[in-house]
Amino acid sequence: MVSKKKKKTSQPRLLKQRTVNSFPISFFNSHVAMLRGCYYIGIVLILGSLIMNAQAAKEQMKTYKRVMLKMSGEVLMGEGEYGLDSSTVKRVAEDIKQVVDQGTEVCVVVGAGNIFRGVAGAAEGMDRTTADYMGMLGIVINALALQNALESIGVQTRVQTAIRMDSICEPYIRRKAMRHMEKGRVVIFAAGTGNPYFTTDTAGALRATEMDCDAIFKGTKVDGVYSADPEKNPAAEHYSHINFMDVLTKDLKVMDATAISLARENDIPIIVFNVKEKGNFAKVVASEGKFTIVTN
């Protein structure tokens, strides 16, 4: 009887003791578990956002599957007064290679201001049509120089001309040009549109439309479009984004009106950037650095 009584009283005491002693440990353990849970959730969230950012960057790159590079001929003369500066032509070729290596298809339209300007010839009394054809021949010279520089660094190219000169290069054939680009070749479109009274800007917009380009990259000596000439007016405002109507109504000299209208009608954005800065073309294609984008 006595021993039974003892057993009954000892049990609840033991239980009580365990509860009191284990309280801080279980409290501590549950908090550690909670913190550990938060830690794992945090890692998952960080990893998720990293993956999403990488995917977004990839998507952005994908946006520019095929681009048109429109450059004035003056870019190729470097610091010279006229003609071709071989180191500048090589640098431009390297810049194009960077973009090709990023997986973007590139086609190029170049001007001939470094060799002959049809408008200037006409101003000096020359027949405008003849002067424009001379300008178109100047473009072919620039296209061949660029082709040579690109091929010397291992970039496959094809020159297609709007004016037939079969012993020098291929004639312009849209479907063939598309095929070349699908194979990773850089297609350089020479001789403008093949017609007088049209600029190489118009040729750039026309070929970009025909080639289903995602954007026209207009390479200039400045890093975008400003409210005024930034060289003359330091207070000029840089536009990061403008629309085609503003370009036309404010006469912002991005490209000539025919080229702007073509790009606008076909909804092809124009990106104005500084092509004189080494490596900038690839940066701007990756939506980095300073530039102006013109859209509808």
- Contact set with ligand GTP (CB under 6 A): 158, 166-171, 179, 183
Instruction: Tell me which DSSP letter residue 185 carries.
Output: P
For residues 151 and 160, give the distance between their C-alpha atoms in angstroms, rounded to a whole number. Answer: 15
Contact 179, 30 (CB under 8 A): no
Which residue's structure tokens are 């090709």? 100
Q: Pick between residue 21 and residue 167 the one whose CB is nearest to ligand GTP.
A: 167
- Residue number with CB closer to ligand GTP (187 or 216): 187
Alpha-carbon distance of 38 to 79, in angstroms, equals 60
Tell me how far, at minimum, the Cβ of 169 lies from ligand GTP, in Å: 5
Are β-strands 170-171 and 186-190 bridged in parallel, bridged antiparallel, or unpaired?
unpaired
CB nearer ligand GTP, residue 210 or residue 256: 210
Please say which residue, 158 or 264, places its beta carbon nearer to ligand GTP. 158
Give the whole-angstrom CA distance, residue 118 versus residue 134: 7
Provide, rounded to whole angstroms, the least separation between the CB of residue 176 and ligand GTP: 7
Nearer to ligand GTP, 9 or 167 (CB): 167
- The per-residue DSSP string of 222-251 comes to SSSEESS-TTT-TTPPEESEEEHHHHHHTT
First to last CA, the chain: 99
Taking the complex as a whole, how short is the minimal distance between the CB of residue 200 and ligand GTP, in angstroms? 21
| Spatial contact of 107 and 77, defined as CB atoms under 8 Å apart | no
Q: How far is CA 38 from CA 16, 28, 32, 45, 171, in A?
A: 33, 15, 10, 10, 65
In the complex, minimum distance from the CB of residue 179 to ligand GTP, in angstroms, rounded to a whole number: 6
Question: Closest CB to ligand GTP among 78 and 171?
Answer: 171
Taking the complex as a whole, how short is the minimal distance between the CB of residue 289 and ligand GTP, in angstroms?
34
> Across the strands, what pairs with 293?
241, 271
Residue 176 or 238 having the CB closest to ligand GTP: 176
Q: Tell the smallest beta-carbon distance from residue 159 to ligand GTP (Å).
A: 7
CB of 164 to ligand GTP, least distance (A): 8
Alpha carbon 33 to chain centroid, angstroms? 48
